[in-house]
Every structure is written in C-alpha cells, then in structure tokens.
Chain A
C-alpha cells in the first residue's frame, strides 16, 4: 500500500446507496461457502462410500443365504433396488443424522469462531436473513447427503444385481420403475425427521457458538432420544420421539400405501424442528456479537 496515499490517479470512491440483498442471495453464498469447506466433503463422502462398501462386500460374499427379518435383505441379489432401501434402513438411525449435524452444528458457530459473524452483520444483511439462509443451507446439505447416498446405493445395486422388480413389505411385487419411485419417495419422507435434526443442530450451533459442541450435542440429542425409546415403561411417549420417526417411510413400501406414519411424523417432527428454529432465530437476533 506504499503508494496508496500518494496515488493521485486512484479511482473515485463516491457514495453508493445499497439495496438490501435478497435472502436467496445470502442462501446462495452460504452454499458457496459450504462448497469451499473440506468438512462438507467429509460428510458427503461418508454418505456415499457406505453404500459402495455394502455392495462390494455383498458381491464378495459366497454364502447365498441373505435372508433374515427384513424382506429387502432377502432380495439383495434379485434387485438392485433393494440396496438403497437397506442402506436407508442402516444409515437412517445414526449415520445420516451425524452427517446432517456436521454442517448444521457448524454453520453458525463457525462464523463465531472465525469472527466473520461481525463481518457479515456490518454489511447490508439482517440477522433474520442470515439465520434463514444458514438454516436452509444446513437443510439443503442434509437433503443432498440423503439423496447422494440413495443415488450411489441405487446405481451400485442396479449395476451389480440389475434393475428388476422388487417386493414390498406387504408382499406386493412392484415394477422396477415403480420401485425406483418408491426409493426416491422413501428418502424424501426420511428427510422429515432429518430436517428436524438439522434444525436442532442449527439451534445448538447458534447457542453454543462452538462447532464441536454443537455437532456432538446434536448427535447426543438423537442418541438420548433413542435410548429413551428403548426404556421399558416409556412406551407411551415412544410415538412422539424424534428418533421413532426415522422409519416413517416404511408406510410407502406397503400396499396400499400407509400414509399415517408419514402424517404423524410430519407434525411430531414439526414439534421438534419449528421451536428449535424459532429459538435459534431469537438467540441470534438478541446476540451480542463480540469477540473475534
């Protein structure tokens, strides 16, 4: 900057009047920041590598008895579409909530840690816009992780065992194309509880101002709810636990389609997610942005 003060031919710095950016703009930038961070790829890598490992291991297995309690486990070698369903079953309880928490728990706390929250808030962005953009970005990431896992599972399963019809929980055989639609819909239904998990992650990220604490805290909440669901004598509250909603999509794989668990999970998850988002918003709104 040695010539800054002396440079007479420097550009004019006239005054500009600013229009507040749309929340969509802020959201797009949240996504761009996510794309630039390594941890984003760590989560997506976990979500996609597990279906690949599963398919490779199943291909290497010599024993043909793949029966068991789950009807889709017995169909692994009959239809590639059984793979994404099984993967959703396996990953839905712990791995996908963990992956969603990785970003949700970090998304506000990292700004605090970097000191960049004050940088953003001294621009033309309101705190409400910022919170909304971050919450949507965390949910977008969770959505991408779920569908990336499903896509890889489907592709690997179909490549190994073909694009064939599949038998649902109720014993009905559905065509391959209908099965593919059901795989997509099942993952979409699973997003309902997962987005509630992400909302809790965003809340903890806002409250704790510490990425690690927020990520661990979010996973801790889901583990806690899971343990509660296993305690004898608490069967009465089980339908209202967030972790119980992870299997809401099973209703789609029955004939006729059982919409009740999906509808039930929608309002139960809203009871977890909406207050978490409102609380997070209010905390950020009243936050003293010091430090950094």
Chain B
C-alpha cells in the first residue's frame, strides 16, 4: 500500500457484456478523507464499477487502483485497508451473526476476531448476535454488513446503497454512522441514488449516467457551477422572458407561477438587468437560488432520447473537478 496513492483511482474503466456497454470509460478520483458520492440512476453502472473496484469482476478495459494497487493484478493484497459491500451484504443464513463475523475475522486475521463484540455494539446487533442471520430483517443485514466491514478497520469504506430498504430512522442512523466513520478519517465511497443522503454526507461526487461519468468533482463546485439560479419578478414577465432569451449567458429561462426563473453567471445577470431597463421592464424582485443536487442530477442524467443529457451545466469544471460532458 502506497500511502501517497489515492484511495481509489480509476482510468478508462470499461465493462462490456456482449452488446451491452455497462461502464463506458469511467474515470474516478477518490481522495484521502473524501466522503465521495457515486450517483446515478438505477442501471447507470454504479454497482458494476464498484465490483470492478473490489476485484469481483474484471474490467474489459482500463484500470482501477485502490491505494495504488490493482485488485485484478494483486488480488486480496490490493484490498488491504479496504472494506465494504456491493449490493446487499450477504452472509451464511445458517450461521449466527457472531459466527458469520468470526468466519470473516478468520479470513481477515490480525486480531479482527477480538473486535467482533465492538463492531456488533457499534451497529447495535449485540442482543441478536446469537441468532441465525437467516431470520434477520433487511435492515439488520445492512447493519451486519457495516459491522463486517468495520472488522477490517478500513481506510477506505466502499458502500453500495447502504440505506436501501431501511426505514426513515434506519436511514438517519446509517447517515450518522457514515458521518462518524468519515470523522474518524475513513475515506468513504458511497454509491447511492438517494440524493438527500449524498447532499448531506458527501463533499465530492461523481454522477454516472448509462455507464458514463457526466460529472466528477466537488459537490459545492457542482452546485455553484451548475448555475446560480435566479427568480425574477418584473412589471412584465412575458416581455422579460423574451429579453432574457435574447441575452447571452442566460440559460433555462422559463416562466412559472412565481415569475421568471433562469440560470446565469453573476456578470450575465447584471447585463440582463440593464437589458430589461432598456426594454422598459422594471424589476420588482430578483432572488438568487442555489441549485439543489436534485436539480443538477436530473439535468445531468435526464436525456432527450438521443443519449445526450437534456441540459448541460452552465460552465465546465476545471482540471480534475471538471464537468465531463457527454460527447
């Protein structure tokens, strides 16, 4: 394990199943300390990408490294310091939770067995530890999955939809746990399609749609560069819409119940206000509205039928925090 190497680095990752291109040249950069959201609609290729990251399936092309090690080349050695689960965590139904953890601890070595009580306590499964996992609810299995991951004392935790199937309280607790783990300097790669969860937890995200990364970078940058949204109320909103549509830099202008909404950079908003004055349309109110992750997600992933995102973001992100627009 190279300490300088990033927890996850994927380059040109491709997975093809016969005619189906599940993952299409995905690049990922998860940095130490990130709580990294891996977002996408169902079937976008998130789980396939995570499987490749954990060495469960072989990429058709490209490479993924965990702390500088390629799981396809180095096998279990590449998973040192890495834990997590893909899809629902699975256990031996005929063994108790404790026996399952004992088995996994034996496969991990290095004192993992001594931590079984500790991790059961963390996920609050101690009272049910002697029960067979076959009788566990979905939520309990999710928690056991987290416990199994924590046995390894990971530096990188890969979680695939950890809150799926949990009730609201369970989802809240799962978020609290992830936040706490992140606070303990564990890098978290969190795959999810629960946008509030990602917005609350993650500092950096990759948004994937039909196998392709359409955005990777800081969540704050995404929201900022996704375009500051504005709501405008004037003496003549219909005329204001016409003016706005003629103005360079004004995007997604639309008339709604509460006036005109649009997205633009600050400098373009100034130009618009001058143009409205010239058109003898008085501004009654102009309110900035930061785009939500949900807005941005749908803008990036909803397509117009030809495979292209319906909308591009207002401005691409520079360097590795770039906006990757669909070709």
Contacts and interface: CB of A to CB of B under 8 A. Distances in A.
A178 interface: no
Contacts of B107: 21, 25-26, 29, 120, 123-125
A30 to B, nearest CB: 10
A37 B99 CA distance: 13
B75 A19 contact: no
Contacts of B80: 17-18, 124
Given A1-B124, A5-B180, A26-B106, 15 more contacts: A4-B180, A5-B175, A13-B153, A13-B184, A15-B154, A25-B106, A32-B103, A115-B90, A119-B89, A119-B90, A122-B85, A123-B152, A124-B152, A290-B51, A290-B56
A121 interface: yes
B174 interface: yes
B56 A118 contact: yes
A67 interface: no
Nearest to B117: A11
A16 interface: yes
A163 to B, nearest CB: 41
Contact of A288 (B56, B75, B108, B124): B56
Given A15-B155, A19-B110, A5 B177 contact: yes
Contacts of B88: 115, 292
B165 interface: no
User: Sorted from nearest, which 10 A-B pairs have the closest CB atoms?
Assistant: A5-B176, A115-B90, A16-B153, A288-B57, A1-B173, A123-B107, A289-B56, A126-B75, A4-B177, A11-B118
B148 to A, nearest CB: 7
B186 A125 contact: no
A21 B154 CA distance: 17
Interface in A1-58: 1-6, 10-21, 25-26, 28-29, 32-33, 36-38
A238 interface: no
Contacts of B180: 4-5, 10
B111 interface: yes
Contacts of B56: 118, 121-122, 288-290
Interface residues of B, number: 63
B76 to A, nearest CB: 5
A37 B94 contact: yes
B145 to A, nearest CB: 9
Interface of A: 1-6, 10-21, 25-26, 28-29, 32-33, 36-38, 114-116, 118-127, 286, 288-290, 292
A123 B111 CA distance: 14
Contact of A21 (B84, B99, B109, B150): B109
Contacts of A124: 76, 79-80, 107-109, 152
Nearest to B77: A20
A36 B76 contact: no
B86 interface: yes
B58 interface: yes
A123 B153 CA distance: 12
A288 B90 contact: no
Most chain-A Cβ atoms within 10 A of its Cβ — which of B87, B95, B106? B106
Q: Specify the main secondary structure of chain A where it touches its partner.
A: loop
Contacts of A125: 76, 107
Contacts of A120: 104, 107
B76 A126 contact: yes
B118 A116 contact: no
Contacts of B173: 1-2, 4-5
A10 B177 CA distance: 11
Interface string B93-134: 111000100011011111110000010011110000000000
Contacts of B99: 36
B170 interface: yes
A199 to B, nearest CB: 23
7 contacts: A18-B81, A18-B108, A21-B107, A123-B108, A124-B79, A126-B75, A288-B51
B169 interface: yes
Contacts of B89: 119
A118 B122 contact: no
Contact of B57 (A13, A16, A19, A290): A290
A120 B82 CA distance: 13
B67 to A, nearest CB: 11
B143 interface: yes
Contacts of A19: 109-110
Contacts of B85: 118-119, 122
A261 B122 CA distance: 61
A21 B58 contact: no
Interface in B125-167: 143, 148, 150, 152-155
B90 A16 contact: no
A178 to B, nearest CB: 43
Contacts of A14: 153
